[in-house]
Every structure is written in C-alpha cells, then in structure tokens.
Amino acid sequence: MKKIVIFAFQGELMCFAHALLNVLDLHAKGHQAKLVIEGSATKLITQLAVSETPFHKQYQQVISEKLLAGICKACAGKMGSLDEAKKQGIALLDDMNGHPGFAGWLAEGYEIISM
C-alpha cells in the first residue's frame, strides 16, 4: 500500500469535504493516509467543530483515526484560527518558514496530493 498525504488548501467547505472524504477512503482501503490543512482551509476548523456543520462527522472521524497530521501555523494565524487549532489540539506545522513543507513528507516516502 501507498503512503499518501493530502494538502488541503481550499477554504470552501464543499471543496475541503473532498479532502476529508478522500483521506478516509484511502485509509479504509489500507493506505497510510494523512491530511494537512493549509491556506484558506485553515479557517474551516472552527465551523467543522460544530456538530450541525455538514461534514462535521467526517472531520471528527479524521481526527479520531489520527489521520490529521496538522495545520499550517502561518495560515491559521492569518485566517484567525490559530487559537481554535490550539483549542482542538491540532499540531501546528511550520517547518518551511512557518508553513508545512513538502520535503519532509517526500523524505518519508509519501506521495503528495494538493487539493
């Protein structure tokens, strides 16, 4: 099976939902899958924490199954969701000038998908 990391950049919920669905599907099919929340998608964690929000269940499943690698520290700060990320206990990724870089994932043998 493959090692795959999805970098989700899109801040529109319906686009981000596909990152959630795909990481869950890949994991269910035996792949080692991880999700990194980047760019404008970092603002979505506040609304996804609310049970009435569409895709809340899938977001919680990604967290409970430890598929969420973390969130971009710089973008969460810019989008106003840094405190929420800390509240939710999401790892802050900042190895590339405050942003999560691809190099570490590639060094660990992951394929990168950007959405």
Express each pLDDT in 63-99 by its tens digit. Answer: 999 999 999 999 999 999 999 999 999 999 999 999 9
Express each pLDDT in 94-106 by its tens digit. Answer: 999 999 999 999 9
Q: Which residue has the tokens 């569409």?
A: 54
Query: Could you tell me the pTM of the whole model?
Result: 0.97
- At 92 the three-state DSSP class reads strand
The average confidence (pLDDT) of the chain is: 98
Average pLDDT over residues 50-72: 98
Alpha-carbon dihedral angle through residues 53, 71, 14, 23, given to the nearest 10 degrees: -100
CA distance 71 to 28: 22
In this structure, CATH architecture of domain 3-114? 3-Layer(aba) Sandwich (3.40)
